[in-house]
Amino acid sequence: MRPASTPPRTGPAGVPDDTLPPPVSTLRRVLAHPRFMHHHRLVAAVLAGNTALLAYGLAAGWWPGPGAADALGAAALGNVALAVLIRQQYVINLLFRLATRAPTSWPLRVRATLGKVYHFGGLHVGAALAGTAWFLAQLGALTVRGGPAGALVTGYAVAVLLLAVVGTALPPVRSRRHDLFERTHRLGGWAALLLLWAQAGFLAGGPAALATSVPGGVLAVLTVSIALPWLRLRRVPVLVQRPSSHVALVHFDHGVTPFPGSSTAVSRSPLWEWHSFANVPTPGRSGFRLTVSRAGDWTGRFVDDPPRRVWVKGISTAGVANIETLFRRVVYVATGSGIGPVLPHLLAGQVPAKLVWVARRHRETFGDDLVDEILAHQPDALLWDTARDGKPDMLRLAWQACRRYDAEAVICISNRPLTWQVVRGMEERGVPAYGAIWDS
């Protein structure tokens, strides 16, 4: 690495001349396609497991039969529990902690697979789909059998809510109407949980019987899991700096210093919408920063009309870049405000890293202080100014940096098309690569 006084390589003059090779193999190219990413593999695995359970139940005579509704209900509740718990912040942090405990002496193939831990959302999706299907089957069995009227009324109400939650979570709807998706998930999920309590009570024969039943215990765990983040809800003061009309740097110092690479959910209207941003703690200082870049209505209003206080809830949650400790050396590829999730790792310096940051007029957009802070920790960083040098070939930049730095993995923080281009392109060439998957 160059001494801090040496200017970093910027623009085309700093680009190594490594040639981008072709994909390693056809199989590698197929497996690197977004449709076959680990998130979708987990969805398929959960659905396959439930299909196997259905086949076993049919062969064993669980259904159809007098106990069909109970068996179907147990399968539904088990899947709903998995869908809820796998999204719980403490569970997410535990998954990351377990996955990243592997030493760098382990084979790269094993560590690369463990690095896909952030695809856990596939378990959520698969279990939610299977749980909804099992619940509808149970409701059908109760209807045919003539179950308690209260159980049927609450059951049909839950069915409507589950279908609404699943329907708004479909990718075409979620991408176009994200606010509707988020509010349906939150408010519809809460309402469904309350109705599930009521239905379970009717099926168990009353509150006393429900309290000692397995469904009652599972519902209690789910209720606590959902309530925990909201029990930590509070409104805290913030200091907002605006180096440009595109970016706001939000400073927090309310007695919480999160771990590097984690994220915090913030809101101005806590019942309606939440937005997560990467925490940027500074070593040796209390508090942390968030980088809010103009990317939509909410962020645009935040930059134009910065608040003095915001709502925060839950605990800081691990993000994709936390998998860096699985590797000896990594390359970070960031575009624009994607530097936010990368910066805390550069400051912490837990893993030797090389930064490639593509943005438009770095200093004018993000401010001299932020750029100088980055260069103090990454004097050999490649800063590509798109206003001066045009849009680069991101995959080629990532490959060149990886080869020159002898890195084991690439972590890309960018928009969806560029992230998929880099992650897919690197994995086609046998290099472990990671980036957001926009699964929720």
In this structure, how many other beta carbons lie within 10 angstroms of the beta carbon of residue 312? 23
> Is the separation of the CB atoms in 243 and 292 below 8 Å?
no
pLDDT at 6 over 80: no
Confidence of residue 18 (pLDDT cuts 50, 70, 90): low
For the chain, percent of residues with pLDDT exceeding 90: 76
Confidence of residue 408 (pLDDT cuts 50, 70, 90): very high
pLDDT in tens, 26-48: 888 888 888 899 999 999 999 99
Confidence of residue 103 (pLDDT cuts 50, 70, 90): very high
Q: How large is the average pLDDT for residues 279-302? A: 89
pLDDT at 98 over 90: yes
Single-letter residue type at 404: R
pLDDT at 110 over 50: yes
Query: Looking at domain 12-25+321-435, which of 3.50.50.60, 3.30.530.20, 3.30.420.10, 3.40.50.80 is its CATH number?
Result: 3.40.50.80
Q: How large is the average pLDDT for residues 417-427? A: 95
> Is the separation of the CB atoms in 120 and 92 below 8 Å?
yes
* pLDDT score of 87: 94
Q: Provide the CA 258 distance to its chain's centre, in angstroms.
A: 17
Query: Looking at domain 234-318, which of 1.10.275.10, 2.40.30.10, 2.40.50.100, 3.30.2130.10 is its CATH number?
Result: 2.40.30.10
Q: How large is the average pLDDT for residues 133-141? A: 96
3-state DSSP of 342-401? HHHHHHHCCCCEEEEEEECCHHHHHCHHHHHHHHHHCCCCEEEEHHHHCCCCHHHHHHHH
pLDDT at 5 over 60: no
Confidence of residue 438 (pLDDT cuts 50, 70, 90): confident
Strands 247-252 and 234-244: antiparallel
pLDDT at 360 over 70: yes
Mean pLDDT across the chain: 91
CA distance 274 to 298: 10
Taking only Cα atoms into account, the Rg of the chain, rounded to an integer number of angstroms, comes to 24
**Of 377, 379, 380, 340, residue with least CA distance to 359:** 340
pLDDT at 440 over 70: no
* pLDDT score of 295: 81
3-state helix, strand, coil in the chain (%, to 5): 55, 15, 25
pLDDT in tens, 295-343: 878 899 999 999 999 999 988 999 999 999 999 999 999 999 899 999 9
* pLDDT score of 135: 97
* pLDDT score of 8: 42
> Is the separation of the CB atoms in 118 and 437 below 8 Å?
yes
pLDDT in tens, 205-231: 999 999 999 999 999 999 999 999 999
* pLDDT score of 65: 76
* pLDDT score of 1: 34
pLDDT at 204 over 80: yes
Domain ranges of the chain: 12-25+321-435, 28-231, 234-318
Sheet with 262-269, strands from edge to edge, namely: 273-278, 262-269, 309-318, 234-244, 247-252, 288-293
